[in-house]
A and B are shown apart, each in its own frame.
Chain A
Amino acid sequence: MSASKTQVSSFSPNVPNVTSPQNPGLKRGPNGTTFVSSGIPDLDKILGGGFSLGSLVMVMEDADAPHHMLLLRNFMSQGLVHKQPLFYASPSRDPRGFLGTLPNPRSFEDEKSRDLPHPPSFEDEKSREHDPSNDKKLRIAWQYEKYIGEPQRNISSSNGARHDYCNDFDLRKPLERQFFNGAHVDCVSIKDLTNFTLLQDQCATFLAQFSRKESKVSPAGRIAIQSFCSPQCKYSNMEWQMLSFIRSLKSMAQSSNAVVVVTFPSSLPSPSCSKRLQHMADTLLSVKAIPDEDKEMEKLLTGYKDMVGLLNIHKVARLNTQVPLILETTTFSLKLEKRRFLVLECLNQAPVDGSSGDSYGKSGGCSGSTKAGPLEF
């Protein structure tokens, strides 16, 4: 009896993740939610599609390493590539300078070299010439490709329907100017902020353009706030104001087509305040640095040398549903593929020699656990 009951009630419609044709930056998810990409393809996959519109994403920083900046950069770049308006606040004196460090999407050449391992040979060229379906236009485009500006190339690469929704970002190349052309980017410094009214008003005006009531296919907006409540901001004695600012930011985001990403050092505010912030988050991530020369860890984990840090997923936004998303594993290693592209990988435990529980250890390597420890087996 219980089996049949399980079958009936565990039915859930499998909503296909469809990218809406008018807006490549949006993807429809289950339960009437819409996703925007986090800018990291792996993270999108893990979170079930990306960040939900109307959700508050909080990233707990590691005091020792700026890994949260990696997440922020990709998030912001992805927004600019999709021509989504961006609001950025940071405690630095010149927040606009940060835009110069944003990564560029994987270039067409990279893409091609990945898609077609061999460069087009002479035969290809010939068949291209003899193929009646290849008209003159295409040949011109082929020959003069280097003269065609980046936007067209990007469009052509995105026509391959591979990276419409989420791009790979090359951390070594700064985001090209053309993505800033006509882009709506607000930059605000939260250094020496004495009260939150101004920042709150700025966020409110920014979010007002994405109000859900006005039109259905309005573009999505992104708000990125870096190092909220860091010492530079000098509001350590204003915890309740801080909390109520985040609360109102969350409420505003809930009624608009926007995603808010806030990174904060979780150890700086008082423990209860930090917990409150974590509770407010719809999606809660944390980044951790890994020590450079940890021999024991190196023995334990395969690929330890390529790791730059660890990403923990504590909570995934569950809008309009009560069913939690249970991940296979909550700890992922942050790696730089070819020193350029940010990828996330499950931790792989290397086989321990001479240990009796060898097979056991291997199978338990990626088991999910929600304890906040950096590594769990």
Chain B
Amino acid sequence: MEPQASNLLDEALGFHGHANPGRPGGRFVLIEDCLDTSGAVVLHHLIKRSLVSHPYSVVIFLAFNHPFAHYDRILRKLGCNLAAQRDNSRFFFIDMLMCQCPDDGKIPQFWLTGLFEKIEGLISSLHPDSKNFVTIMIDDVSLFEVAANGSSNDVLDFMHYCLTLTSEFDSTFVALDHKDIYLDGEKPILILEMEYLADILIKVEPLATGLAKDVHGQLTVMNKETQNPQISSPIKIRNFHFRIKENSIEYFYPGTKAW
């Protein structure tokens, strides 16, 4: 075993044995969850992974869901001090909780342009060494849509811009969205297009038999980058269970864990 033990999720994401262990470079990671099982866990894991992977790595976090204190407390238990990283200008928390696109008939593009320019400005102001280790995260896209008064197309455009930006710098874009919103959908275009664009798709689902004390849900990781010879595993879709604890998450294949 390696000193920094990687778990099943890291392996599935391609962290394991990758040239840049600890971060997937130039990729779009989409996390889909549903009402019963929250995908926030994966997001927290990725924040930590991104920050500890490289001394220059930077995370830009667009928070629509929770205040900073929430993430700070969780990440502290995971062994990552967000407040300190924020002071070191390695974690940029963009508080979007109260931001709402002005609803006066104007198209929300101005509002989104402003937001994008902010992110662009942040990246361009970074140390040149950091520029290639940027991760942009959105928590979560469905609330982003609400903040943009429901104009999914503009949100999609914004994500396209972000993707272009991240691919330019070989950095990573992570988005969380709730799949079940779009299931009986009038407008599934957003989720469909995101799924198409995503290089890695992580589905967080409850067990078919309901939640249990020992197994909190299952992850399905679809890694579309199989042509990359550096990825050791030829398996395209991986499915495993997880159990969340305060300071760690256990991943295991179905049926391999006995309590």
Contact = CB atoms under 8 A, between A and B. Distances in A.
A361 B97 CA distance: 47
B147 interface: yes
Interface residues of B, number: 49
Contacts of B142: 276, 279
Contacts of A240: 146, 149-150
Interface string B137-181: 000001100110110000000000000000000000000001011
Contacts of A2: 257
Interface string A227-264: 00000000000011101100110011011000000000
B35 A251 contact: no
Contact of A370 (B103, B206, B247): B206
A278 interface: yes
Contacts of A276: 142, 146, 178, 181
B210 A369 contact: yes
A93 interface: no
Given A320-B74, A323-B245, A326-B212, A243 B146 contact: yes
Interface stretch (B12-20, B63-71, B219-227): B63-71
A324 B38 contact: yes
B146 A244 contact: yes
A326 B98 contact: no
Contacts of B69: 320
Contacts of B245: 9-10, 12, 323
A9 B247 contact: yes
Contacts of A254: 66-67, 97
Given A240-B149, A248-B100, A251-B97, A9 B248 contact: yes
Interface residues of A, number: 43
Nearest to B78: A322
Interface stretch (A99-107, A162-170, A267-275): A267-275
B35 A241 contact: no
Contacts of A208: none
Interface string A1-44: 01000100110100000000000000000011000000000000
Interface in A299-346: 314-315, 318-324, 326
A177 interface: no
A321 B97 contact: no
Interface string B204-217: 00100111110010
A324 B244 contact: yes
Contacts of B67: 254-255
A324 B213 CA distance: 10
A272 B187 contact: yes
A280 interface: yes
Interface string A158-196: 000000000000000000000000000000000000000
Of A252, A280, A315, A369, the most chain B CB neighbours within 10 A belong to: A369
B74 A370 contact: no
B211 A275 contact: no
Nearest to A280: B143
Contact of A371 (B97, B184, B210): B210
Contacts of A66: none
A247 B66 contact: no
A280 B147 CA distance: 13
B185 interface: yes
B87 interface: no
Given A240-B146, A240-B150, A314-B35, A321 B74 contact: yes
Nearest to A323: B244
Nearest to A54: B67
A368 interface: yes
30 contacts: A9-B247, A10-B245, A12-B246, A31-B73, A240-B149, A241-B103, A244-B100, A244-B147, A244-B149, A247-B146, A247-B147, A248-B100, A251-B98, A272-B184, A272-B186, A272-B187, A279-B35, A314-B36, A320-B69, A321-B73, A322-B38, A322-B244, A323-B244, A323-B246, A324-B38, A324-B216, A324-B244, A326-B211, A368-B211, A370-B211
